[in-house]
Structures are given as C-alpha cells and as structure tokens.
C-alpha cells in the first residue's frame, strides 16, 4: 500500500519527471477493480486532461497531488497498486487500469490491486474530499510537535473508546500511516495495537510521537519499503522490522518469537513481551 514514504518518493520523482509535460490523452481500462474510485465517467478523463500541463507534484499523507495549469488537481492515492513511468522510447505497459500519455509520448500507468483513487478535482472538490481533503498532520511536518500530538490524542480519547491501531491508521488523525508502517511504529514505541488510546500515559505518548517521526523519516530517506516500487520500478530500501517475514523469528530486543495476530481487519506483527 502507498503510505507516506512511498507517496513522498513517487511525488518527488513525478515532479522531477513530469513537470512541464502536457497530457495528450487518457485511457481508463474497461476492466478495472470495483473499488477504483473515479469521479468522472471513464471517457471524460481524456476530455478533461488532454491539452493540460503539469505544473507541480506534491505529496501529503497517502496522497499525491498533481497540480495542473487548468487550476485542477489530478489526485492519486489511498491505494494498493503501482504508479509507473514509461519513457517514450520504451514499450507500452502490458497492464493498466488508467494510462495517461503526454505530448512527448511518454506515459504514466496506474494499476490498482485492491482499491485506490484516481480523480481530477477542482479546488473546491479537493477541499471537500472526504479523505484527501480532511487529513491530519504529517509525522514529518515540523509543526507536528509532541504537544500537538498530545492534544490530538486527548481529544480523540474523549470522543472514541478505540485502540491505538484505529487511531493511527485513520487519515484524519495523523496522515500517511497505514498497516505497513504501523507495525514498526508500535514496536519502537513498545505498545500493543490493542492498547486503548485513553490508557496511553504521557511518557508513552512521547515515545509514540518519537517512533512515528523516526520511522517515517528513515523510510522516506530510503525511498519507502522494500516491498514497494518507485516510479521507475525500483524497490525501496527500508526493510520493516515487523512484517510477515518476521513471524516466528526472535524479537531483536528480547528474543521472544514474533507473533502474527488478526486485529481490526488486518494482520499485526508484534512482540508480546515488549509491546504491552
């Protein structure tokens, strides 16, 4: 899944590669996943994008924002899948769910494995977007201080009786964290995914804040996880401590075998001794 480090990596590469290019045509595949979320009829993407120039590409949370000279934004994100660049001299992609071709015949292909968004939005539509328009602070934003995090956690605890996994993976609380990086963040913070937010003490809050900042900053510097690919098909260099490959191996801190549990609709990997 594309989370903050992958989104930042892709947006940086797209900004370096696509800015100044003009869309020539856009094709949405007839056969595509049920949960590929479009905001236009498939045939309208070509009419909407043709002749429009790419001005800037940025990332925030799990989202990539391609700003167009039409004033609209081509939004990609919250997705399982691939975004890949194909130079004009290379072969066309064999499989895609959306393919945009630029004026120099280079292409950008989007493939969705489970769900994902590919939408062209006006500023007002982006502002009102139920997910991309209502993001919490990013863990790598310099304004994301321990005090701000404490305020967000306390407010959440007063209105929700939910565990920390539910809090961290909700884009409206803190943006950019999915089930992938959640595992390492909670391991570094020595917290179980089942811990209720209201039960997390001040010292643990500070530990959790530090774990988010350190994990995401390190992953960004390494271009994302080694299970994900960048714009050119290269794997990231961040190897998670806690993922399916760790199951049954000794905890790097205490030696207890790493467990896999199913919780809140997904798998979690943890050390039952270290993460309380």
168 shares its domain with 257: yes
Tell me, what's the pLDDT at 63? 97
Tell me, what's the pLDDT at 181? 97
d(CA 16, CA 135): 25
Look at the chain and report how many structural domains it folds into: 2
- Residue ending a domain, among 127, 157, 189, is 127
Check if the beta carbon of residue 244 is closer than 8 Å to that of residue 217. no
Tell me, what's the pLDDT at 194? 96
162 shares its domain with 227: yes
60 located within any domain? yes
42 shares its domain with 112: yes
36 shares its domain with 79: yes
183 located within any domain? yes
Tell me, what's the pLDDT at 90? 82
Check if the beta carbon of residue 186 is closer than 8 Å to that of residue 76. no
123 shares its domain with 151: no
Tell me, what's the pLDDT at 135? 94
155 shares its domain with 82: no
Check if the beta carbon of residue 168 is closer than 8 Å to that of residue 190. no
Contacts of 264 (CB under 8 A, 6+ apart): 163, 165, 166, 193
198 located within any domain? yes
Q: Which residue range forms the structural domain that includes residue 100?
A: 4-127
CATH number for the domain including 116? 3.20.190.10
For Cα atoms 90, 112, 71, give the angle at the middle one, nearest 5 degrees.
Answer: 80
107 located within any domain? yes
34 shares its domain with 97: yes
Sign of the alpha-carbon torsion through 209, 251, 228, 193: negative
75 located within any domain? yes
Check if the beta carbon of residue 108 is closer than 8 Å to that of residue 100. yes
CATH number for the domain including 250? 1.10.8.50
**Average confidence (pLDDT) per 10 residues, the chain, 276 residues:** 97 98 96 95 96 98 97 95 92 90 96 95 96 95 94 94 96 94 98 96 96 98 97 97 97 97 92 95
33 shares its domain with 88: yes
Check if the beta carbon of residue 28 is closer than 8 Å to that of residue 41. no
84 located within any domain? yes
Q: What is the pLDDT of residues 24-45, one digit of tens each?
A: 999 999 999 999 999 999 999 9
180 shares its domain with 259: yes
Tell me, what's the pLDDT at 94? 85
């Amino acid at each position: 899944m594309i989370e903050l480090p992958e989104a930042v990596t892709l947006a940086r590469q797209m900004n370096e590669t696509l800015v100044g290019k003009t869309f020539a045509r856009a094709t949405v595949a007839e056969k595509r996943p049920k949960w590929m979320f479009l905001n236009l009829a498939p045939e309208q993407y070509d009419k909407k994008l043709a002749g429009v120039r790419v001005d800037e590409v940025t990332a925030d949370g799990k989202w990539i924002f391609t700003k167009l000279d039409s004033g609209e934004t081509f939004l990609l994100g919250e997705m399982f899948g691939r975004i890949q660049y194909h130079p004009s001299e290379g072969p066309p992609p064999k499989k895609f769910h959306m393919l945009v071709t630029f004026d120099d015949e280079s292409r950008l292909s989007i493939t969705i494995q489970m769900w994902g968004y590919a939408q062209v939005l006006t500023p007002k539509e982006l502002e009102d977007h139920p997910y991309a328009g209502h993001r919490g602070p990013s863990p790598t934003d310099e304004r994301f201080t321990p005090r701000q995090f404490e305020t967000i956690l306390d407010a959440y605890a007063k209105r929700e009786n939910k565990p920390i996994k539910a809090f961290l993976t909700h884009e409206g609380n803190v943006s950019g964290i999915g089930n992938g990086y959640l595992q390492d963040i909670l391991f570094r913070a020595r917290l179980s995914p089942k811990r209720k937010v209201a039960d997390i003490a001040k010292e643990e809050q500070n530990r959790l804040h530090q774990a988010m900042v350190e994990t995401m900053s390190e992953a960004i510097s390494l271009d994302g996880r080694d299970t994900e690919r960048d714009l050119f098909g290269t794997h990231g260099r961040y190897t998670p401590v806690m993922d399916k490959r760790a199951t049954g191996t000794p905890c790097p801190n205490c030696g207890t075998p790493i467990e896999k549990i199913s919780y809140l609709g997904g798998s979690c990997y943890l050390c039952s001794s270290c993460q309380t």
